Chain A
Amino acid sequence: MTSESMGWWGVLLGVSAGAVRGGTPFLLVSLGECLTEKSGKINLGLEGTLLMGAMSAYAFSYKTGSPWIGVIAAGIAGALMGAVHAFLVTRPKVNDIAAGIAMLIFGSGLAFFLGKPYIQPSAPQLSPISLGGWSDTAQIQAALKISPIFFLGAGIAFAMNWFFRSTRAGMHVRAVGDSPAAARALGISVERTRILSIVAGSALAGVGGAHLSLFYPGAWTEAISSGQGLMAVALVIFSRWNPVHCLYASLVFGGAQAVGPALQAVGVSTGYYLWNASPYILTLLVMVATCSPKRTLVGAPGALGASS
């Protein structure tokens, strides 16, 4: 490998590579949340689902020696968490925010409890897809080793967009989210649509966890998600319930996460707490910039948060 220094190019490389590396969990969780919210329910528990996914992926990869079985296990664990949440919130008069917070605490507690034996061992990791063969710079080659989960997520983002726009099932999800009464009048089962959306959304969040434990940073620890699941929920609002926008927003958040370390590596060491907070500051700024007192948020499902 070359050991030359990259200087300020390193900051640019770090932030753009960090956008993909660090943005992938945001992407999967926000897509899951987007699908859930489109059906008219909120799932704040995806932070717990992300942790369950990360833990299951690591445990299964370690036990079976195959990281892809880990990814599948993460999806199943996520779906199971989603099934519990879906069962709760489709009961009459259950508040989905409260149920979500309960699921968040339950999911992280369960992941920490079941994950105790897997903190120390090293599990086989997902092999990256290398796009940097054209470059002879070690740094660029390393930056272009991209997680397969990222491609999966990016593909799902476009597919989901098409699903909402052009398919019958997608229209049903939107109808249920916008006006459950009208959907019911059309003969669509509100409950069934919501359960399926929540379960599928949680499965996506679980797969996002697999990226954390099996690719980057590539370990199972209790601090692995550190709030990313919650930020992803805000990210859905930020991207106006549009799956493709979720992809862009995730990249921005992932990149913002990398700004602090990348700047310190070139010797800009003042204000690193501020830089580390940049993803959150960014969220606030976008929220302030796009809010309007005159109308509700464009794209928000009509029945979101209503207890029907």
Chain B
Amino acid sequence: MKHVFTAILIAMSMAAGLVTQAAEKEVTMGFIYVGPKDDYGYNQAHSEGKAGVSQLPWVKSVEEASVAETAAVQETMRNMINLDGATVLFPTSYGYFDPHILRVAKQYPKVQFLHCGGLYTEGKHPANVGSYFGYIDEAVYIAGIVAGHSTKSGKLGFIAAKPIPQVLRNINAFTLGARSANPKATVQVIFTGEWSMPVKEAEAATSLINQGVDVLTCHVDSPKVIIETAERRGIYVCGYHANGAKLAPKGYLTGAEWNWSKVYTTYAEMVKSGKTLAAGTIPHLVRGGLKEGFVKCSDYGTAVGDAAKKDAEAAKSKFMDGSMVIFKGPLKDNAGKEILPSGKEYKQQDLELESMGWLVDGVVGSTKS
């Protein structure tokens, strides 16, 4: 009898040993990108975030680039879970969410699915799905201030992929930033209809420059072609997603960049300490801006003047202390309709802003396809 007890004790202590070992085991994180991971754009920003979190000794990370927003991404997710043992997945492209993540998440309730930018709805979507995004419009607003100061023609250009809320929010923030510096500035928008279409992006940049636009910015997956076209034509450009200063040493003003390694590190720590989305210990919606370190601004280029720097820095410090509001009344859209009356405002956290369907006064363009 005594022997049996000893045996059980030994077995139990061994099991406990296994458990502690398991807890100290590495966290395996899977990252999926829609395009190549060194495209000076959206995918590079996420890949840099992955590289950042991989420096933690207990994080094991796998990644796959150029995965289409089709059943292919479901296959990649299943492979990462079954073959690589990933317990947290970051499928980063907008189009991965519905139906792909939602479908796979139902099949693997123990895996955490974290999607960049998607709008998680409690009750409607599986409990092991969450979404994170940065208020990059704060950095875009600052780029707008610099652009407004730098333009001579008062005409700014914005090359956008599709009229979805995230894109419209950036166009609006850029315009409001520019008009805070130069109330007469207008922003001409071109929608290319695709996230990555280099020929059309170059064509759009050329058309805008021909119309007298002298500062360009964009919201497409890879701004490389646009930044290079602007530099070749001798105009200014503000970057997006990642730092593009190397592509335009003369004309690069500043840019809005992601800082995903900060976000991914926070998630890795939450998962390591046993927290889950389903239990509610990892929040389903994670958002942050300049203050939280989710986004940052590129260093100012050589062409940026002192007045521009002063205004931009002033706005930046107001973002850092939380007193800055980008969308505040009185605010009209570019068809003259009132968005916000005087005295009202949308705070960054307002979900209204994540379903934005309007362009502010000063934007030349329309969201109608």
Contact = CB atoms under 8 A, between A and B. Distances in A.
Given A5-B155, A120-B40, A272-B369, A267 B188 contact: yes
B211 to A, nearest CB: 5
B201 A217 contact: yes
A143 B209 CA distance: 11
Interface stretch (B164-172, B224-232, B254-262): B224-232
A10 interface: yes
Nearest to A272: B191
A142 B206 contact: yes
Contacts of B197: 223, 226
A222 interface: yes
A222 B36 contact: yes
B285 interface: no
A262 B202 CA distance: 11
A269 B192 CA distance: 11
A265 to B, nearest CB: 4
B35 A265 contact: no
Contacts of B189: 264, 269
Interface string B187-229: 0111111101111111110111111111000000010110011
Contacts of A116: 36, 38
Interface string A1-13: 1011111001001
B191 A219 contact: no
Contact of A10 (B36, B199, B211, B229): B211
Interface size range of chain B in the complex = 35 or more
Interface stretch (A34-42, A193-201, A253-261): A253-261
B247 A122 contact: yes
B103 interface: no
A226 B214 CA distance: 28
Nearest to B203: A261
Contacts of B201: 217
Given A265-B190, A273-B369, A217 B198 contact: yes
B207 A10 contact: yes
Contact of B208 (A120, A260, A265, A271): A265
A18 interface: yes
How many interface residues does chain A have, given as a range?
A: 35 or more
B212 to A, nearest CB: 4
A119 B212 contact: no
A11 to B, nearest CB: 8
B233 to A, nearest CB: 6
Interface stretch (B8-16, B84-92, B113-121, B360-368): B360-368
B152 interface: yes
A278 interface: no
B311 interface: no
A112 B203 contact: no
B207 A261 contact: yes
B66 interface: yes
B234 interface: yes
Interface in B240-262: 246-247
A264 B201 CA distance: 12
B333 interface: no
Given A122-B228, A264-B191, A272-B193, A221 B203 contact: no
A153 to B, nearest CB: 17
A59 B172 CA distance: 39
Contact of B366 (A7, A18, A222, A270): A270
A22 interface: yes
Contact of A5 (B202, B212, B232, B368): B212
Given A223-B197, A273-B193, A217 B229 contact: yes
8 contacts: A3-B153, A21-B206, A116-B38, A223-B194, A261-B203, A261-B204, A266-B211, A269-B366
Interface of A: 1, 3-7, 10, 13-14, 17-18, 21-22, 112, 116, 119-120, 122, 139, 142-143, 212, 216-219, 221-224, 226, 228, 257-258, 260-262, 264-267, 269-273, 276
